[in-house]
Amino acid sequence: MQDSLFDDLAPVPAAVKPTAKVAAGTAAKSGTAGGAKVQPAAPRETQRALAGTLPPSVRMGTSSWFFPGWKGLVWDGDYAQSVLSKHGLAAYAQHPLLRTVSLDRTFYRPISASQFAAYAAQVPDDFRFVVKAPSLVSAAMVRGEDGRGQQPNPAFLDPVLAVEQFVQPALDGLGHKLGALVFQLSPLPGPMLARLPELLERLRTMLRALPVLKPLAPDGVIAVEVRNPEFLTTAFAEVLRESGATYCLGLHAKMPPVGEQLPMLRALWPGPMVCRWSLHRRHGAYGYENAKASYAPFDRIVDEDAESREVLARVIVATAAAGHTVYLTVNNKAEGSAPLSVEALARAVAEKLG
């Protein structure tokens, strides 16, 4: 489990409210300030120039950062996965094109404001985080060790838990570095899908209970990603719009191609773009392990997805031109190497900007 890789992340003491001073001290203790344990790869001048062509509101990055195969792409040399998990974020954030990252470990269990603050202390002031909601509130089913749903999750879309275990700790710990908080709703079983209107009302109730992000996180966005195409309806868009949330484009084989999801963004326009590019469609709806085996060590693009890249570049340019923020994170399993996918997408955006 990804979460176990971060167990010794130095937290801010629980009794202390995370402040800039405390967070800076945390970074020093964890080896991310001063004598850093992980050094970044030297950026190419072409990467710096490319980054300079992108609008400041466009933030692209990867899903997590702990991959040894990124040697020469993000890291300057060989590092163990456990070292990168705990000490690689500061080096990652020095890459000129990586201006956000998805904190995926939060899906497995909630983390505290102090732990969020420890992450925030390791990145520049203009870096932003995309954070996945805990499965505690985003998973419809309680799952066993094999990943199969065993029984309905009684805490699914619980508004109190969503605030106390996710949104408020992220807001308190990340502050203005909070970017997008993503509720990725796990695939729903047939009986739940049959009661979709009832489920949408539960979603509306939860979203309306969430604290306003803007005072502490001016760039903050609440987004909802789904893994059932049945959600792609006018009723779903209305729930998001009325709750001040947006739709997260999910590039995954369980969903239609990205171009077929764009009506959801049009229904919510004008507004930000949040996107998680998770898995190449060739691997199918349950192909994570196959993609992992095919693409490891994630140091090159294996299956280029030019069609998705073209659509994403077009939407990114339109969103930025309208003055809205873009948060887009890429998984290694999208094309083979997330940092290289980001760079290729950045070139596609730059070309459209002229």
Question: What is the rounded CA–CA span in Å between residue 321 and residue 64?
Answer: 28
CA torsion sign, 137 to 183 to 232 to 139? negative
The answer to whether 312 and 277 have CB atoms below 8 angstroms apart is: yes
Helix (H) or strand (E) holding 326: strand 326-330
DSSP code of 318?
H
Question: What is the rounded CA–CA span in Å between residue 52 and residue 50?
Answer: 5
Mapping DSSP to helix (H, G, I), strand (E, B) and coil, where does residue 184 land? strand
The answer to whether 133 and 106 have CB atoms below 8 angstroms apart is: yes
CA atoms within 13 A on the CB side of 186: 22
pLDDT above 50 (res 25): no
Cα-trace Rg, the chain: 19
The share of the chain scoring above pLDDT 70, in percent, equals 88
The answer to whether 51 and 142 have CB atoms below 8 angstroms apart is: no
Question: Which CA distances in Å does 245 have to 57, 72, 106, 180, 203?
Answer: 18, 38, 20, 10, 11
DSSP string of 67-91, one letter each residue: -GGGBTTTBSS---HHHHHHH-HHH
Q: Give residue-wise pLDDT tens across range 170-214.
A: 999 999 999 999 999 999 989 999 999 999 999 999 999 999 999
- pLDDT mean across residues, the chain: 90
Q: Give residue-wise pLDDT tens across range 277-323.
A: 999 998 887 888 999 999 999 999 999 999 999 999 999 999 999 99
DSSP string of 223-264, one letter each residue: EEEES-GGG-SHHHHHHHHHHT-EEEEEESTTS--HHHHHHH
pLDDT above 80 (res 29): no
| Mean per-residue pLDDT, 15-24 | 36
Supply the pTM of this predicted model.
0.89
- Neighbouring residues of 84: CB distance < 8 A, sequence distance ≥ 6: 38, 65, 66, 67, 68, 75
Picking from 219, 220, 202, 93, the residue whose alpha carbon sits closest to that of residue 155 is: 202
DSSP string of 260-296, one letter each residue: HHHHHHHHH-SS-EEEEE---GGG-TT-HHHHHHHHT
Domain ranges of the chain: 9-353
Residue 152 banded pLDDT, cuts 50, 70, 90: confident
Question: What is the rounded CA–CA span in Å between residue 64 and residue 58?
Answer: 18
The answer to whether 160 and 110 have CB atoms below 8 angstroms apart is: no
CATH superfamily label, 9-353: Protein of unknown function UPF0759 (3.20.20.410)
The share of the chain scoring above pLDDT 90, in percent, equals 82
Question: What is the rounded CA–CA span in Å between residue 31 and residue 296?
Answer: 28
Strands 221-226 and 178-185: parallel
| Residue 330, beta-bridge partner list | 62, 277
